[in-house]
A and B are shown apart, each in its own frame.
Chain A
């Protein structure tokens, strides 16, 4: 029987079981790396470095995980903090690497033209709105969970999601119709 995230965390806590932690990384690497790729506007190398840093930090601080939120929400928060610290250190947000971004995407499910426009529209959103939209609309977090990840009030998350959605709809008006 497959262990739940909580069971794996318990193993890491009690036995410092790195294999159990490896399983947690395997389960969540795609979503964390995906989120960071979007936050860094497609800089895959930077996003993967940040994701690695986030998972190592999560391991070192796993005792502070109290189970009040889902493990994935707790991970997103660490990943988002890594991103913010890095962005602050660079004092500029990373540029768009559209070409690399496109080659990484799977072209089976969404029209490539639509995906291009969608990603471009997302990258044009201000960071607070982009983060809120990515967490709530793309990763399926509730507003409450997103507020925890972003460490901002619930009302601000709702406003950012609403504004972000409106802007995306405006930019993608031709596709929506």
Chain B
């Protein structure tokens, strides 16, 4: 009992012996010494994707004799049974959802400290 009291007394005095140290510009000095943030190029991603898509579309249009194949393929799609179209839509939806879940999970594990 006495030993426990002595221990508590010692811990208390040890904690009291170190007062709060004022910042006094310490944080500012640390921030000055941090490496500069990397230039972020993420904003370029959508631009590159849009430009690449536009270029690909233009090339396709020119190389396919004015896009006549589009009309042909439209007729072909129109003759596909409805069940197949519904199944295709469902499968695509599931695929996109799975991709979204995987992306969200990987992002969460990245930011979870």
Contact = CB atoms under 8 A, between A and B. Distances in A.
Contacts of B81: none
A114 B13 contact: yes
Interface residues of B, number: 30
B100 to A, nearest CB: 18
Interface string B70-110: 00000000000000000000000000000000000000001
Contacts, number: 96
Give chain A's interface secondary structure class. helix
Contacts of B112: 10, 67
A138 B26 contact: no
Contact of A18 (B9, B14, B17, B34): B34
Contacts of B37: 16, 18
13 contacts: A14-B110, A22-B27, A29-B23, A30-B23, A34-B18, A34-B21, A60-B35, A105-B17, A106-B19, A109-B16, A134-B14, A137-B14, A176-B10
